[in-house]
Amino acid sequence: MDPFDQLDAAMNAYDDRKVQARAAADQKRAEEDAFIAEFSNFRSITAHPVLEEIGNRLHQRGHEFQVEMNDPVRGTGRRPIGITLHVYPAGTDGRHATRSDHPQFTINGDPYSRKVKFHSVITYPGGGMQSGPEGTDYNLEELSADVLRTKAIAVIAKSFASR
């Protein structure tokens, strides 16, 4: 075999691997983008109305709330697409609240694992708090308004029960 044939064969194999890697990366990105679109639709049609419903129930009893939409910052590994219910118990000033001094329930869509994850902030009297994942991860098609309502209310109820 001619040495240049050997070199050409190695470069061809290298080029083939690069093409395959690029195609795999493009496929993964397309799947992530599809998940983001599906989750965004779910967030608008299902999650937002459920969290607003809970917030309105709290508001009837003198508490304030805010529903915040979080959009992904691509390539940073931070801020997955999500939605958060912030609860400001009566007698607190939500305008001066920090990220961890009030009850919260967050629903995040993770485009990398294509799973829906829940996060909670539960506050306690005297300023203590607990923050972390809430339960198991879900596939998007497993979630319903009833599941979201039950999970969110359980988190918010824990904070109110401890006050």
Q: What is the pLDDT of residues 126-160, one digit of tens each?
A: 777 788 888 889 999 999 999 999 999 999 998 88
pTM of the prediction? 0.82
Two tokens at 100?
């961890």
Distances (CA, A) of 21 to 9, 12, 13, 25, 35: 18, 14, 12, 6, 21
Whole-number Å distance between alpha carbons of 120 and 130: 8
Q: How far apart are CA 135 and CA 129, in angstroms?
A: 17
Is a pLDDT exceeding 70 seen at residue 9? yes
Mean pLDDT of 25-53: 94
Burial class (CB within 10 angstroms; exposed 0-12, middle 13-18, buried 19+) of 127: exposed
Q: What is residue 86's predicted lDDT score, i.e. its pLDDT?
A: 93
The parent domain of residue 94 ranges over 3-162
Q: Please report where in the chains the tokens 């609860």 appear, as a residue.
A: 87
Give the separation between CA 71 and CA 45, rounded to whole angstroms: 16
pLDDT above 60 (res 57): yes
Which range, of 12-16, 70-74, 75-79, 106-110, averages the lowest pLDDT? 75-79
How many domains, the chain?
1
